[in-house]
Amino acid sequence: MNSAGLRISLFVAGLLLVFGASAAVGSLFEPADVESDASHGAEQSAGHDAHGAEAAVVDYSLRMSPTQIGRGQERELRFSIDGADGPVTNFDELHERRMHLIVVRRDGAEFRHLHPEMDESGTWAIPIRFDQPGAYRAFADFSVGGEQHTLAGDVFVPGGEFEMRPFPPESPFDSTDGYEVRLRTGEPVAGEPASLTFSVSKGGHDVHDLAPYLGAKGHLVALREGDLAFLHVHPEEAGGGHAHGHGGHEAAANEIAFAATFPTPGRYRLYLQFKHEGVVRTVEYTVEVPR
């Protein structure tokens, strides 16, 4: 076998190992939130209306195409959210958008937060390009009838060697474009609410004029290592636009606070997005929840 054939074989074998490991890890955990593979619906726990009557269980599934995109090729990624009667079109506005598409490589790299457009048939579409090979997880985060859902599917990008790596080591600091952001978590405990507070500074000075982004001072995505379970993380907003962390701490003007419940012990990757001077920036962290 020539060297090119060997590299392709190794890449395919690596993907099989990745998905075998992911399936094994995923079988050990309950989903962190409502999530499904592209081929399965996401079952919702029965809710109750204002009069106490039990609401019907609704199943949704994600239909996505293409599921393979060549490295360096710009393609249009198209998908629909299917319900019992076909593609859904009556989406609620969630964080100022009707659809949030989170795309991240399965080792936590290459994070993207996109907002596709929907046509009259219920098909969402957005141009996308991958410059690095690997297996990417695409999360469709949306709300229907006041209920938030997250469905996920995979996109494969061949065209080079791909090495799965663990999440980076835990660190309370990250920086981007001259901004320094510090994360304060306390000691998170699996299954219990935790406060996550980010302090933003630039050039040694606190940034006091953070602009709203998606209806809040910041937007946060959290993924669990191994199965990449998606956590819904909510900003802690109080009267007057100030956020409060647990324990009575009032967030300062340069702080962005969130409430999260890490469902199991393990390692989680956090992606914070904030807006300043008209530009949205992203910083990343690893949080370890003790076993």
> DSSP state, 36?
-
CATH 2.60.40.1930 residue ranges for the chain: 3-157
Helix, strand, or coil (residue 24): helix
At the topology level, CATH places domain 3-157 in: Immunoglobulin-like (2.60.40)
**Spatial separation of the C-alpha atoms in residues 34 and 232, rounded to whole Å:** 9
What is the average per-residue pLDDT within 19-46?
34
E-strand stretches of 50-192: 59-65, 74-83, 86-87, 100-105, 112-114, 117-118, 123-129, 134-144, 147-157, 173-176, 179-184
> DSSP state, 48?
B
**Spatial separation of the C-alpha atoms in residues 244 and 255, rounded to whole Å:** 10
CA dihedral in degrees (105, 109, 110, 115; nearest 10)?
A: 70
CATH 2.60.40.3340 residue ranges for the chain: 173-289
The 10s digit of each residue's pLDDT in 114-170 is 999 999 999 999 999 999 999 999 999 999 999 999 999 999 999 888 888 899 999
At the topology level, CATH places domain 173-289 in: Immunoglobulin-like (2.60.40)
Percent of the chain's residues with pLDDT above 70: 76
**Band of pLDDT at residue 17, cut at 50, 70 and 90:** very low
The 10s digit of each residue's pLDDT in 177-236 is 999 999 999 899 999 999 999 999 999 999 999 999 999 999 999 999 999 999 988 888
The 10 Å Cβ neighbour count of residue 114 is: 16
Query: CB burial class (10 A; 0-12, 13-18, 19+) of residue 131?
Result: exposed
Is the entire prediction scored with pTM above 0.75? yes
**Spatial separation of the C-alpha atoms in residues 236 and 82, rounded to whole Å:** 32
